[in-house]
């Protein structure tokens, strides 16, 4: 035992001497100093930029008449109930190209104008999303005739014509505050053809030439690169999901799994900081407020729903979003809240959202 202690002391002295000798080299000394400075500076930046809940959060909603219809709701009645009972200050609406231009150069914006006008009557601000890739599954909503066009160039011309016509139709509405052009254009999700950056630039340049209101481009909050989208607009929209059901592009050999994103609430602000995107220019345009499971939410079993959006998940997700520090937070799932209330005798989500919106509007 005594011999082992003696050997250890001897080896420790040798290591200490060698380490001490290293400090005689300038490169080693500078490396250690640089590492210490980096760690201290990084910790300081992290501390001063750590997000705190905004004192005046603007809570908004998303609405898709297609999704409401899919769940068997009367979408017009649903929309009025959402506006009158929940009383959001802002809402994101969608121009579905395949429903608006079913025949080339024949446009019908009646459903969307009605939505915008009903919001205007109630002083509700609108983000209007338009493009070939817009919110709700299957993500892309190109008209059937568009795919039969002879070339990519011809298809791009028609897409730009749709954007131009849409802005012309709606630029007279003062309650439209932001134009959203495309939705996660570079993120590989949904049944969509590859999106070209040159096309997105042409779309945004066109809108800028027609109207002075800001442009928002959306990206995945969890998996997106962010800056590639933000560079084309004035604002960046991001999703914020906690629990999902997905196969991650076949990474699990086609097996779908329930998955919780291992991201702390402060990671969004740190990502923005590292990318040089002003935090105040980011909107959470899709805060998960409904399940994500193996089917339409109105068809899921209670067990499947609870995997990704239980009562506790709903409360925890709201708290998580508040702690992220964003000012603008738009919920995803108001149509499902109404379905749960009216068709499943579960008013929890609807009533909780109502209380939140009304308290924030005081």
At 142-195, the pLDDT tens digits run 999 999 999 999 999 999 999 999 999 999 999 999 999 999 999 988 888 788
Q: What is the pLDDT of residue 33?
A: 57
312 Cβ partners below 8 Å, 6+ apart? none
- The Cα–Cα gap between 164 and 147 comes to 20
Chain-centroid distance, C-alpha 317: 14
The answer to whether the beta carbons of residues 101 and 143 sit under 8 Å apart is yes
Mean pLDDT, the chain, integer: 90
- The Cα–Cα gap between 149 and 152 comes to 8
Q: Can you list the domains of the chain with their CATH numbers? A: 1-48 (no CATH), 56-360 (3.20.20.80)
Q: What is the pLDDT of residue 241?
A: 97
| Main-chain dihedrals φ then ψ at residue 134, nearest 5 degrees | -135, 170
Pick from 42-46, 130-134, 139-143, 164-168: least confident: 42-46
Q: Any alpha helices (H) in the chain, and if so which ranges?
A: 2-22, 26-48, 65-70, 75-81, 97-100, 110-121, 152-170, 197-210, 227-230, 267-275, 302-308, 311-323, 334-343, 348-360
Element at 92 (helix H, strand E): strand 90-94
Q: What is the pLDDT of residue 42?
A: 47
- The Cα–Cα gap between 241 and 268 comes to 12
The answer to whether the beta carbons of residues 124 and 83 sit under 8 Å apart is yes
237 band by pLDDT with thresholds 50, 70 and 90: very high
10 band by pLDDT with thresholds 50, 70 and 90: low
The answer to whether the beta carbons of residues 269 and 51 sit under 8 Å apart is yes
At 247-289, the pLDDT tens digits run 876 766 678 889 999 999 999 999 999 999 999 999 999 999 9
């Amino acid at each position: 035992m005594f011999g082992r202690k003696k050997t250890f002391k001897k080896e420790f002295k040798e290591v200490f001497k060698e380490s001490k000798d290293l400090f005689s080299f300038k490169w080693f000394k500078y490396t250690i100093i640089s590492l210490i400075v980096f760690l201290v500076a990084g910790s300081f930046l992290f501390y001063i930029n750590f997000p705190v809940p905004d004192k005046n959060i603007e809570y908004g909603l998303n609405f898709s008449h297609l999704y409401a219809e899919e769940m068997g709701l009367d979408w017009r009645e649903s929309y009025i109930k959402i506006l009158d009972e929940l009383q959001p200050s802002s809402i994101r609406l969608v121009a579905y190209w395949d429903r608006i231009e079913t025949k080339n150069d024949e446009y019908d914006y009646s459903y969307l104008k009605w939505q915008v006008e009903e919001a205007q009557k109630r002083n509700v601000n609108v983000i209007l999303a338009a493009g070939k890739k817009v919110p709700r599954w299957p993500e892309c909503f190109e008209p059937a005739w568009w795919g039969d066009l002879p070339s990519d160039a011809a298809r791009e011309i028609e897409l730009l014509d749709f954007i131009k016509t849409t802005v012309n139709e709606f630029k007279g509405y003062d309650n439209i505050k932001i134009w959203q052009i495309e939705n996660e254009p570079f993120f590989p999700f949904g049944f969509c053809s590859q999106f070209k950056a040159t096309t997105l630039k042409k779309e945004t340049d066109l809108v800028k030439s027609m109207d002075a209101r800001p442009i928002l481009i959306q990206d995945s909050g969890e998996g997106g690169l962010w800056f590639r989208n933000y560079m084309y607009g004035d604002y960046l929209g991001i999703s914020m999901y906690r629990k999902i059901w997905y196969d991650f592009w076949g990474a699990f050999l086609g097996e779908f799994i329930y998955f919780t994103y291992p991201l702390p609430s402060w990671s969004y602000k740190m990502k923005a900081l590292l990318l040089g995107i002003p935090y105040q220019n980011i909107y959470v345009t899709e805060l998960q407020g409904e399940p994500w499971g193996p089917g339409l939410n109105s068809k899921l079993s209670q067990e499947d729903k609870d995997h990704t959006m239980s009562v506790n998940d709903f409360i925890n997700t709201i708290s998580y979003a508040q702690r992220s520090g964003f000012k603008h937070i738009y919920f995803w799932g108001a149509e499902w809240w109404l379905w749960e209330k009216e068709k499943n005798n579960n008013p929890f989500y609807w009533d909780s959202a109502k209380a939140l919106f009304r308290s924030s509007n005081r």
